[in-house]
Structure 1
Amino acid sequence: MNHAFPCGTLPLDFVGTLRARRNAAPMEKLPSPELLDAWFTESGMFDVVPGANEADLEDALELRELIYELVAGRLAGEELPDAAVAALNRRAAGMPVEVRLGPDGVSRTGSASQGLAGLARGAVEILGGDEGALLRECARPECTQVYLDHSRGHRREWCAMKTCGSRVKSAAYRARQRSAKS
């Protein structure tokens, strides 16, 4: 598996395909159309590789940054820029992924642009709905993954306990051990 899905929310997991975006050299997880195809199939959006090309990859990266810009604005409590909102709405108006019922169950097929339109629609739902109040950014300084905090007290700090939460807690434990020895 090439990609991680720590959020359980596809538009936000898609934003996470640029890892550590505030670092001097962020890690790009979508450097090729083939890895965009892999993201679509690994996420479950498609059962069959959509066959993305360079233009689809460029559109995907633009959409990812557009969603991040709007999420960051929402997190900062800012009014969302009209131009960015209009751009997201245009993308959300695209054709949906084709979902069919067949003898083997449900199948999801379509083009990369249909997948991107689905991600844009999901982002519209989050940003414009009640879930927008649950948006958070991971508290681990090196991580910039955004997620929805559905925890009981809405006090979740990390995108995923398995990765970032474990690293932060381990680092804090080691720091306590070092200071106790001093």
Structure 2
Amino acid sequence: MMHAFVGGAPALDFAGTLRYRHRSVPREDLHSTESLGVWFRESGITEYEIPCELSDLREALVLREAVYRLILDRMSGNAYDPDALALVNDYARRPTPVPQLTRAGRQVEASLQQAFAAVAQNAISVLGGPEASLLKECGNPECSQVYIDRSRGALREWCAMDPCGNRMKAAAYRARKRLSGRKATASVRP
């Protein structure tokens, strides 16, 4: 897979395609028209890659940032940004992909606009639904992935064990080792 799907909802994963937002130089996962088409297939919104043009990619990035803005507003308890809210609601009013039954089984084809509508409707379902209170940002200080914490007791700290959880656990282990090494050195001194 080219893309990561750890948020628990397509809208969260779509917003997470700009990875490591807290770094001075974030990583863009929607770096080409092909990567956008692949994202829709890998997300399950459609079964086939959607052909995209450069203008489509620019439109996707605007939608992504509006979704991310609404997620941040919801998590912080702020009023929704009116421009982001209007944009997402506009996309959500549009038709979404329609599954079809064929001899081969279920099949979903979608236009790019239908795929955008599916993301917008999912964002509304997440932000306006019962799981909105379970939204968390990854505990890795560099990672900005938002996810739904469905763990028992809502104790999940990272978007995923690989790579964020593993990195944070390894860093904590190294810090404990350094601290125990310092304590041992201090107790040996005369």
What TM-score, normalized to structure 1? 0.95
SS in 1 for 2:47: coil
Which digits, 9 at most, give the CA deviation of each residue in 1:133-179, with x for residues without a partner?
Answer: 11111111000000111111012111112321111011100111122
| Sequence identity percentage | 45
The Cα shift of 1:34 comes to 0.5
2:84 alignment partner in structure 1: 84
SS in 2 for 1:106: strand
Distance of 2:29 and 2:162 partners within structure 1: 19
Amino acid at match of 1:54: L
2:28 alignment partner in structure 1: 28
1:74 alignment partner in structure 2: 74
1:140 alignment partner in structure 2: 140
2:51 alignment partner in structure 1: 51
Does the Cα contact within 8 Å between 2:33 and 2:57 map onto a contact in 1? yes
Does the Cα contact within 8 Å between 2:75 and 2:136 map onto a contact in 1? yes
The Cα shift of 1:180 comes to 1.3
SS in 2 for 1:153: helix
1:155 alignment partner in structure 2: 155
Distance of 1:110 and 1:70 partners within structure 2: 25
Higher gyration radius (CA): 2
Which digits, 9 at most, give the CA deviation of each residue in 1:55-104, with x for residues without a partner?
Answer: 21111101110011011111111111233222211011112113101111
Distance of 2:161 and 2:47 partners within structure 1: 28
Distance of 1:109 and 1:148 partners within structure 2: 27
Q: Which runs of 5+ in 2 are unaligned?
A: 183-190
Q: Which runs of 5+ in 1 are unaligned?
A: none
How many corresponding residue pairs? Answer: 182
Does the Cα contact within 8 Å between 1:98 and 1:109 map onto a contact in 2? yes
Distance of 1:54 and 1:98 partners within structure 2: 25
Distance of 1:60 and 1:83 partners within structure 2: 16
Amino acid at match of 1:104: A
Which digits, 9 at most, give the CA deviation of each residue in 1:95-129, with x for residues without a partner?
Answer: 21131011111111011121111000000111111
Amino acid at match of 1:132: A
Does the Cα contact within 8 Å between 2:7 and 2:13 map onto a contact in 1? yes
1:108 alignment partner in structure 2: 108
Moved over 3 A (4+): none
- Superposition RMSD on alpha carbons, in Å? 1.1
Does the Cα contact within 8 Å between 1:149 and 1:156 map onto a contact in 2? yes
Does the Cα contact within 8 Å between 2:19 and 2:145 map onto a contact in 1? yes
1:38 alignment partner in structure 2: 38
Greater Cα shift, 163-172 or 137-146? 163-172
2:64 alignment partner in structure 1: 64
